[in-house]
Amino acid sequence: AQRVTQPEKLLSVFKGAPVELKCNYSYSGSPELFWYVQYSRQRLQLLLRHISRESIKGFTADLNKGETSFHLKKPFAQEEDSAMYYCAHPDQAGTALIFGKGTTLSVSS
């Protein structure tokens, strides 16, 4: 079954420290991968999609097919980055997104 695994429920870092939020997926073929961010239990917002290879708010993510990973990285965390982060990819039929359980990032000064 397709699965998105985010092994860390909570990641706490200090402001200015590097951040890496882990995401591993199980998917046969070439998935399209996404990171969504949710601030304070509000609506989810698209942060990144791997095919666009863009950097949003200083975050980047690289698809590693060998390790089936799509880790989200930022070199210097800011307090406003504190939020819940979800990794996702489409189901095999391509009809719906499957989300990981999410990682809460807490950035403190």
Partner 1 sequence: DSGVTQTPKHLITATGQRVTLRCSPRSGDLSVYWYQQSLDQGLQFLIQYYNGEERAKGNILERFSAQQFPDLHSELNLSSLELGDSALYFCASSGLQEVRYTFGSGTRLTVV
As a whole number of angstroms, the distance between CA 28 and CA 82 comes to 33
Contact between 94 and partner 1 per CB under 8 A: yes
Distances (CA, A) of 83 to 18, 28, 70, 75, 93: 16, 30, 18, 17, 30
Stretch that binds partner 1, among 11-19, 34-42, 58-66, 67-75 (CB under 8 A): 34-42
The two three-digit tokens of residue 49, written as one number: 């999609």
Distances (CA, A) of 92 to 2, 65, 83, 105: 7, 17, 28, 29
**Exactly one of 80, 101, 106, 108 binds partner 1 (CB under 8 A); which one?**
101
Q: Shortest distance, CB of residue 100 to partner 1, whole angstroms?
A: 7
Stretch that binds partner 1, among 14-22, 60-68, 70-78, 98-106 (CB under 8 A): 98-106
Q: Which amino acid is at 17?
A: A
**Exactly one of 2, 11, 24, 44 binds partner 1 (CB under 8 A); which one?**
44
Q: Which lies closer to partner 1 via its Cβ, residue 38 or residue 78?
A: 38
Contact between 1 and partner 1 per CB under 8 A: no
Count of all residues that appear for the chain in the document? 109
Contact between 97 and partner 1 per CB under 8 A: yes
